[in-house]
Amino acid sequence: MKAARDVFDSRSAWKELPSDFLSTLAAKLNSVKKATEFALLCERTGILKNNIVGLVDLAGGDPDFVVGGVAATLTSYANAIANQRQFDQAKRALELVLLLKPRQVAAWVSMAGVAFYIGDCAAAVSWADRALAFKPDPDSKDPWERGAGDFMTEEGEKVAAEALGEPEMIGAWKQIREQMKAIKDACRE
């Protein structure tokens, strides 16, 4: 039986990436089908060339950091195609994100929106509830979760907005919470 790792080993575009990163991806994706879907998506969209390769260089050998960056990139991609009303493709991308990072709150928020727009109120409410209840672990070994926790505070938003030069970030988490509540309210009607 072919293993998920074999998918990456058999594709020339992935062969130059560190073995521990590819093993981490394969373990998280956990099937040949999902690994193939992930590899094709990343190759087709340029995520492999434009994001993953750079993240590997930036991460200094930490495969979990790279996986977090990939999850963030795929979530952004899913949001972009959802804005183009390609909800099935957005949902598939988000499902891959959640295999990589099950506690990716941004993906939960996006899943709530996608489910709402395709008319699946039960799923939309479930994802919205999950996002609203999210409590990041400040002691997590995952830098992405710690960062999400920082961003979810008023002070953290201000620091992030200043560091990134993006003042419009201030109040973003409050807006997200309001959107999740609005989805829940609309589904009750």
The residue length of the chain stands at: 189
User: Structural domain tally of the chain?
Assistant: 2
Per-position pLDDT tens, the chain of length 189: 469 999 999 999 898 889 999 999 999 999 999 999 999 999 999 999 888 888 887 777 688 888 999 999 999 999 999 999 999 999 999 999 999 999 999 999 999 999 999 999 999 999 999 999 988 887 888 877 777 766 676 777 777 677 767 777 677 788 889 999 999 999 988
Per-residue tokens: 179 = 């959107």
Question: Do 43 and 83 sit in the same domain of this protein?
Answer: yes
Question: Do 138 and 86 sit in the same domain of this protein?
Answer: no
Per-residue tokens: 156 = 């953290």
Give CA–CA dist 163/169, Å, rounded. 11
Question: Do 37 and 48 sit in the same domain of this protein?
Answer: yes
Residues in CB range of 84: below 8 A, 6 or more apart: none
Q: Which domain holds residue 127?
A: 103-189
Question: Do 80 and 22 sit in the same domain of this protein?
Answer: yes
Last residue of a domain, one of 102, 124, 151: 102
Question: Do 26 and 37 sit in the same domain of this protein?
Answer: yes
Per-residue tokens: 128 = 């919205």
Residue type, 139: D
Residue 46 CA, chain-centre distance (Å), reads 16
